[in-house]
Amino acid sequence: MISIEPVATPGAPLARRNPVAKVVAALVFSFTLLATLDPVAPAIALVVELAVLPLFGIRYRMLARRAAPVLLSAVGIVVTLVLFAADRSGRVLVDAGPVLVTTGVLVTALGLALRMLAVALPGVIVFATTDPTDLADALIQNAKAPARFAIGALAAFRLVPLLGQEWQMISMARRARGVDAGQNPLARMRLFVSTAFALLVGAIRRGTRLAVAMDARGFDAGTPRTVARRQRFRAADGLLIAGAAALAGAALAVSVALGTFRPLIG
Amino acid sequence: MRGVDLRVERGERVLLLGPSGAGKSTLLAALAGLLPEDSGEQEGAVEVDGVDPRADRERVGIVFQDPETQLVMARCGDDVAFGLENRGVPADEIWPRVDEALRRVGFPYHRDRPTAALSGGEQQRLALAGTLALRPGLLLLDEPTANLDPAGAALVRRAVADAMDGDTTLILVEHRVAEALPLVDRVVVLEPGGGVRADGPPEAVFAAHGDALAAEGVWVPGRTVPPRHAGAAPGDLLISADRVALPPRLAPIDLAVRAGEALAVLGPNGAGKSTLALLLGGLLRPGTGRVAATGELAGRHARTPPYRWRAPALASRIGSVFQDPEHQFVTGTVFDELALGPRRIGQPETAVRATVDGLLDRLRLTALARANPYTLSGGEARRLSVATALATAPRLLVCDEPTFGQDRRTWLELVDLFAELRDAGHGVVTVTHDPDFVAALADRRITVTREPSDDGTGASGEGVEAA
């Protein structure tokens, strides 16, 4: 089950910053980290991310739940690399038949896993603390995104949870009609494709009806829109972005100073 | 729709009637300025306050049938504000107008309430508020209660009644005429094929055209339907549910269905009626308790519960009709749709043809045999979805709201068809909100409740009705 509702404690100082500022800060922070391949900079970044978490009003357990897919992939990376990496340099730690774990392998694997976590967590934090409506409002008002795009995406987004129920209904209706695939993988594939097609047809019809209803209420009719919910971009929002850039830069600087910096390019 | 001449004065409240396919919704869309340029040949002119509504939509507001696809925003207040923002209403006027519109429809919640947490009737009231906030001179309602249970429909009708003032003109399309009459002072009947058949005060129109309209499927008020109860006592047990539950959707319930009886499953929204239908249909695995088919229904399959049967075995024993017919359509033509089940259970092609032709004829679908199921009208789609379930000749038929939004003609056909099946020894289970349907067909009723009742089951039977 994909959870999309924001979970932050209301009023947490960083959670209530402008959504566009939060997204930009997360992007700046993550992109800066992409510049290096070493494990030190992402480790520092992770410490920073976990340290600022209370300012976003998220509990650590909640973050772990939201970031579960990322954590799982990180574990997956470590396991895969430890088992299959070609580079077997460094001191041998474990030698159990086909499994040969060396310090070189372990450092590479942990470095990659850390990097992925450090790059992904800012995004997880931002979306866990941002209401989709607020984000759409801020995109229109502060980032000058077209309302046609931002509100349209928001309305479509609201219909996404329906797709899961719809899939279940279509599958059951097919079984009631005598259509199932049994153990035959080819039949399974065909049933999957035809169910997906039915789902798509339904989604398009719903989308069309929604578009007509929005049209009827004057959406995108050429009249300049006003806004009911004002989103402001304040000095503190600028500071959030600057702070993110400075902290990510500091993580890189430490890595350079320690001599572990390995640039992505060159 | 063609050749319609109609003049509606400010403040009039018009009920637009006509047989299915007469162009009621098309006329409303034209009045709302929502007909796409490429949607067919257009002739004549539509004017609201002397202006083409496509050029100036501000005078007209429209509410549609489906609550799910009318709400745009995640919070109730934001949704009402959406239209005001689009129209460029100054920001400081928006929230007072939102609150006023919510008050006008008697909306019971704060404007921060998530729209997803509303019932269908509440969502439709919100959609009405979103339209009224724009202060349209002409309010168009296109079957706003067709997708709602009776309580939700009453809620919406009351909101419409409360919201009308002397300045607002109303044009309403609604097939449940008796319920809609208190809202209107004029009835206009469209002629299928073109023109206006009748126009005037409700009493005069129904006195002159009531019989013809009823025959064409309009729910003319004051016409009762003769009941079709079973003539004989029910036969062998077909299926039984023993303390079946699926938390949190359905509380434990006991149930038995016999051959030759029509059982109606009643209960409020959210009590788990549809879930019960899926459990009986062998489509969901029970959380606790068990559903058991007898040898009479299932033969050698009676040893395993229906949810574990292979699909062809299931389809030839238990037929399920879903609330939304479109969920059930698999193929590209009406003919193939009907042939699918018989082919899946291995009938020879000559037998398939005979079955399909019989069903096409019985359910007035012969002319549509080559049509795509997705292009059918509501009544045609419903008839097809029932026919597909019958194509494999299951002994037990489980239907979820089969009469939802149907015109009188299809409704009567469904009563006849189910009564015939019942009298031929089938078991018929219908989950329904429709009191007339229950009165006309059901031999026995069972009510599903949200809370377990005193005897520990979520159901209370009301015994056999007087036949």
Output B335 or B404, whichever has higher pLDDT: B335
The candidate with the shortest Cα–Cα distance to B280, out of A181, A217, A176, is: A176
A97: region left, alpha or beta (phi > 0 left; psi from -120 to 50 alpha): left
- Other CB atoms within a 10 A radius of the CB of residue B421 amount to 21
Kindly determine whether residue B316 and residue A178, on different chains, have CB atoms separated by under 8 Å: yes
Q: Which site among A204, A208, A217, A231 would you substitute to test the B interface, given the most B Cβ atoms closer than 10 Å to its Cβ?
A: A217
- Note the CATH number of domain B13-215: 3.40.50.300
Mean pLDDT value across residues B23-47: 82
Given a contact cutoff of 8 angstroms between Cβ atoms, the answer to whether A217 and B390 are in contact is no
In the prediction, which pLDDT does B451 show?
65
What pLDDT, in 10s, does the model give residues B43-74? Answer: 778 888 888 887 777 789 999 988 888 999 99
What pLDDT, in 10s, does the model give residues A48-95? Answer: 999 999 999 999 998 999 999 999 999 998 888 888 877 777 777 777
A225-261 in b/e form (b: 16+ CB < 10 A) is bbebbebeeeeebeebbebbbebbeebbeebeeeebb
In the prediction, which pLDDT does B55 show?
74
Token pair 């990180």 is found at A74
Chain B residues with beta carbon closer than 8 angstroms to that of A220: 86
H helix runs in B164-218, sequence order: 177-180, 202-215
Chain A residues with beta carbon closer than 8 angstroms to that of B312: 178, 180
CB-nearest to A228 from B84, B320, B340 is B84
In the prediction, which pLDDT does A45 show?
94
Token pair listed for B32: 């709302």
| Confidence class for position B464, pLDDT limits 50, 70, 90 | very low
Kindly determine whether residue A176 and residue B328, on different chains, have CB atoms separated by under 8 Å: yes
CB-nearest to B69 from A213, A217, A219 is A213
Kindly determine whether residue A228 and residue B98, on different chains, have CB atoms separated by under 8 Å: yes
- Other CB atoms within a 10 A radius of the CB of residue A152 amount to 19
In the prediction, which pLDDT does B96 show?
96
In the prediction, which pLDDT does B131 show?
94
CA distance A258 to B2: 82
Kindly determine whether residue A212 and residue B34, on different chains, have CB atoms separated by under 8 Å: yes
Chain A residues with beta carbon closer than 8 angstroms to that of B31: none
Kindly determine whether residue B57 and residue A154, on different chains, have CB atoms separated by under 8 Å: no
What pLDDT, in 10s, does the model give residues B74-131? Answer: 999 999 999 999 999 999 999 999 999 999 888 999 999 999 888 888 999 999 999 9
- Residue of chain A nearest B326, judged by CA positions: A202
Chain A residues with beta carbon closer than 8 angstroms to that of B32: 216
CA distance B264 to B446: 6
Chain B residues with beta carbon closer than 8 angstroms to that of A133: 73-75, 78
Q: Which site among A177, A197, A210 would you substitute to test the B interface, given the most B Cβ atoms closer than 10 Å to its Cβ?
A: A177
CATH architecture of the domain B237-464 equals 3-Layer(aba) Sandwich (3.40)
CA distance B446 to B109: 33
CB-nearest to A223 from B32, B87, B330 is B87
B436-451 in b/e form (b: 16+ CB < 10 A) is bbbebbbbbbbbbbee
Give kind and range of the element (H or E) at residue A110.
Answer: helix A103-128
The candidate with the shortest Cα–Cα distance to B302, out of B313, B294, B314, is: B294
CA distance A1 to B372: 34
Distances A206 to A71, A246, B66, B77, B334 between C-alpha atoms, Å = 35, 46, 9, 23, 22
Chain A residues with beta carbon closer than 8 angstroms to that of B142: none
What pLDDT, in 10s, does the model give residues B211-253? Answer: 988 888 888 888 888 888 888 889 999 999 999 999 888 999 9
DSSP type of residue A221: S
* Cβ burial, residue B43 (10 Å; 0-12/13-18/19+): exposed
Kindly determine whether residue B78 and residue A133, on different chains, have CB atoms separated by under 8 Å: yes
Chain B residues with beta carbon closer than 8 angstroms to that of A197: none
Chain A residues with beta carbon closer than 8 angstroms to that of B88: 223-226
CB-nearest to B328 from A173, A209, A221 is A173
Output A112 or A235, whichever has higher pLDDT: A235
Handedness of CA B53, B55, B60, B63 (dihedral sign): positive
Residues present in chain B in total: 467
- Residue of chain A nearest B28, judged by CA positions: A216
Longest dimension (CA), chain B: 72
Q: In what order do the strands lie in the sheet with B459-464?
A: B318-321, B396-400, B427-431, B262-266, B444-448, B459-464
CA distance A8 to chain B (A): 17
CA distance B448 to B453: 10
Chain A residues with beta carbon closer than 8 angstroms to that of B74: 131-133, 154, 158
The candidate with the shortest Cα–Cα distance to B238, out of B428, B461, B467, B390, is: B428
The candidate with the shortest Cα–Cα distance to B271, out of B244, B242, B249, is: B249
The candidate with the shortest Cα–Cα distance to B454, out of B180, B170, B251, is: B251
CA distance A209 to chain B (A): 6
Please provide the distance, in angstroms rounded to a whole number, between the alpha carbons at the two ends of chain A. 42
CA distance B233 to B460: 21
In the prediction, which pLDDT does B441 show?
94
Domain boundaries of chain B, sorted by first residue: 13-215, 237-464
- pLDDT greater than 50 at residue B149: yes
| Confidence class for position A138, pLDDT limits 50, 70, 90 | very high
Kindly determine whether residue B88 and residue A224, on different chains, have CB atoms separated by under 8 Å: yes
Kindly determine whether residue A176 and residue B320, on different chains, have CB atoms separated by under 8 Å: yes
Residue B139 has φ and ψ, to the nearest 5°, of -105, 125
Q: In what order do the strands lie in the sheet with B138-142?
A: B60-63, B138-142, B169-173, B13-17, B186-190, B196-200
In the prediction, which pLDDT does B119 show?
84
Question: Pairing state of beta strands B444-448 and B13-17?
Answer: unpaired
| Confidence class for position A111, pLDDT limits 50, 70, 90 | confident
Chain B residues with beta carbon closer than 8 angstroms to that of A170: 327
The candidate with the shortest Cα–Cα distance to B417, out of B446, B386, B396, B443, is: B386
- pLDDT greater than 90 at residue A220: no
The ipTM estimated for the assembled molecules is: 0.85
- Residue of chain A nearest B275, judged by CA positions: A169
- pLDDT greater than 90 at residue B462: no
Q: At what angle do helices B120-132 and B91-104 cross, to 10 degrees?
A: 130
Mean pLDDT value across residues A163-170: 90
Amino acid B155 reads: L
Token pair listed for B239: 């299926």
What pLDDT, in 10s, does the model give residues B392-401? Answer: 999 999 999 9
A vs B: CB pairs below 8 A: 158
Kindly determine whether residue B324 and residue A218, on different chains, have CB atoms separated by under 8 Å: no
Kindly determine whether residue B312 and residue A194, on different chains, have CB atoms separated by under 8 Å: no
In the prediction, which pLDDT does A1 show?
36
CA distance A178 to B330: 11
Q: Which site among B57, B71, B86, B147 would you substitute to test the A interface, given the most A Cβ atoms closer than 10 Å to its Cβ?
A: B86
Given a contact cutoff of 8 angstroms between Cβ atoms, the answer to whether B428 and B225 are in contact is no
* Cβ burial, residue B233 (10 Å; 0-12/13-18/19+): exposed
Question: Pairing state of beta strands B237-246 and B288-293?
Answer: antiparallel
